[in-house]
């Protein structure tokens, strides 16, 4: 039986078992009118402290209102997946990468400005960054992930290398070794360039900062495809 999940705002203080939670209008509408939930039905809440079992306590259809009572504690596993530093690419493709990075276990997403990022993509506004957070939360609800994806502010490559001191990661490069990813510390940063890849100067800067080059093979992949293929390989590696 498919588990029904509804989202509770991540910026809300976590409630204790037994508490009744009124969901936001969009979630109430989805539960009451699309899922046609009725009082007493079990659901799972995706919220600020992870996942929690709950039971529908109130449903009203006009206007839509929905409340649920927590029936157990919040469960949240620490996010230990790679941190994906993905260069800013065409908007719809970046949106897709946000969703799939949640499903594939990335612990963080760092929107990255590099030399070959197109000028129209290099300065995403607040609305677009809010959209990424909404997409990440919807993906978390869909896949049942306990931890939220940490989405950083837009970052330059020089800022990234300064922040990553003594925390070496990987960067995708056609000159790197193919096969299994090089060994790194837990939750490494994975750097993926835009269309056209990273420049030689950028690869040199990453190498000097301790990052290791890695290749996914001879096939030329789109940036978002390469990022997600690399995440899948990294998450499949034995601990």
What structural domains does the chain harbor?
5-70 (2.40.240.20), 83-236 (3.40.1280.10)
Provide the pLDDT for residue 179: 86
- pLDDT of amino acid 9: 64
Note whether 8 and 23 are within 8 A (CB). yes
The bridge status of strand 83-87 relative to strand 5-7 is unpaired
Q: What is the pLDDT of residue 184?
A: 75
Structure tokens at 189: 């940063």
45-80 as b/e: b if 16+ CB within 10 A:
bbbbbbbbbbebbebeeeebbbbbbbeeebebeebe
pLDDT of residue 11: 52
Partners of residue 214 on adjacent β-strands: 172
Per-residue tens of pLDDT for the chain, all 239 residues: 567 888 876 555 566 778 888 988 888 999 999 999 999 999 988 876 678 889 999 999 999 999 999 898 877 666 678 999 999 999 999 999 999 999 999 999 999 999 999 888 877 888 899 999 989 988 988 887 878 899 999 999 999 998 876 677 999 999 999 988 888 777 799 999 999 999 999 999 999 999 999 999 999 999 999 999 999 999 887 55
Q: Are strands 42-47 and 150-151 parallel, antiparallel or unpaired?
A: unpaired
CA 214 to chain centre: 22
pLDDT tens per residue, range 4-36: 888 876 555 566 778 888 988 888 999 999 999
Question: pTM of the entire structure?
Answer: 0.76
Cross-strand partners of 42: 55
**Nearest to residue 188, comparing CAs of 216, 166, 207, 219?**
166
Instruction: For CA atoms 136, 214, 164, 128, give the dihedral sign.
Output: negative
Q: Given this model, what pLDDT does residue 8 score?
A: 74
* pLDDT score recorded for residue 190: 96
Residue 204 buriedness (CB in 10 A; 0-12 / 13-18 / 19+): exposed
Spatial separation of the C-alpha atoms in residues 239 and 235, rounded to whole Å: 9
Indicate the SS3 state at residue 122: coil
Q: How far apart are CA 43 and CA 26, in angstroms?
A: 16
Half-sphere exposure of 231 (CA within 13 A, CB side): 29
């Amino acid at each position: 039986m498919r588990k029904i999940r509804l989202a509770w705002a991540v910026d809300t203080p976590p409630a204790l078992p037994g508490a009744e939670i009124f969901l936001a209008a969009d979630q109430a509408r989805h539960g009451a009118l699309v899922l046609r939930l009725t009082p007493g039905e079990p659901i799972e809440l995706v919220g600020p402290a992870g996942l929690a079992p709950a039971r529908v306590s109130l449903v009203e259809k006009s206007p839509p209102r929905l409340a649920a009572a927590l029936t157990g504690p919040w469960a949240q596993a620490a996010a230990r997946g790679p941190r994906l530093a993905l260069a800013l690419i065409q908007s719809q493709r970046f949106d897709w990468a946000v969703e799939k990075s949640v499903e594939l276990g990335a612990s963080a997403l760092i929107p990255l400005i590099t030399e070959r990022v197109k000028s129209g993509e290099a300065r995403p506004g607040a609305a677009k960054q809010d959209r990424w957070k909404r997409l990440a939360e919807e993906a978390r609800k869909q896949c049942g992930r306990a931890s939220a994806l940490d989405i950083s502010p837009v970052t330059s490559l020089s800022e990234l290398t300064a922040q990553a001191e003594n925390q070496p990661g990987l960067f995708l490069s056609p000159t790197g070794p193919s096969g299994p990813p090089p060994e790194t510390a837990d939750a490494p940063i994975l750097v993926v360039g835009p269309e056209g890849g990273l420049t030689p100067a950028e690869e040199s800067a990453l190498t000097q900062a301790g990052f290791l080059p890695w290749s996914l093979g001879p096939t030329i992949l789109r940036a978002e495809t390469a990022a997600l293929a690399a995440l899948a390989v990294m998450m499949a590696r034995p601990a």
